[in-house]
Homo-oligomer: A and B are copies of this chain.
Amino acid sequence: MGKSTFVIKQRAYLKLYMLHAAEKGRLYGLQILEELQNHFKDLGYKPTKSEIYKSLHELLKEGYVVREPITKEGTEMQTIYIYRLGDKEKVKAYKDTIKADIDRSIALLNRALKDNYSQKRG
């Protein structure tokens, strides 16, 4: 896990969702952005374009996903990139480490609730 500091970083969190998008296939950058912004709207979280791209690029560089250029036919020609999962075993191992980090983060947050907001008796 490297050096574990406070809670999970946004980047790792988003990479997890990028893998999820790659699993489904047929999604490209800005489309994923829009879906996620919508998905998290109720929690007041609005990921940005640059974080999405950086997450995608990192996953690509690390070999968790592969991508292929597609020419999107419309009023004009536009090149987009569709992402797909790379080696399944490797991806699974990676997802496991992220899950551990999320679990740890939740534990940290729950501890704060317990320590600071529990009713004190007496």
A111 at the B interface (CB under 8 A): yes
**Set B8, B44, B99, B110: member contacting A106, Cβ < 8 A:** B110
CB contact under 8 A between A44 and B116, given known A102-B109, A106-B106, A106-B109:
no
Complex contact A115–B20 (CB within 8 A): yes
Name which residue of chain B comes closest to A11, CB basis. B6
**Set B4, B10, B13, B115: member contacting A17, Cβ < 8 A:** B115
Contact-residue bracket for chain A: 20 to 34
Complex contact A104–B8 (CB within 8 A): no
Contacts of A30 in B (CB 8 A): none
A50 at the B interface (CB under 8 A): no
**Set B7, B46, B117: member contacting A105, Cβ < 8 A:** B7
In the assembled complex, the Cα of A99 lies from the Cα of B114 at a distance in Å of 11
Residue-by-residue, is A83-112 near B (CB-CB < 8 Å gives 1, otherwise 0)?
Answer: 000000000000100010010111111111
Q: A residues within 8 Å of B by Cβ?
A: 1, 4-8, 10, 13, 16-17, 19-20, 40, 43-46, 95, 99, 102, 104-113, 115-117
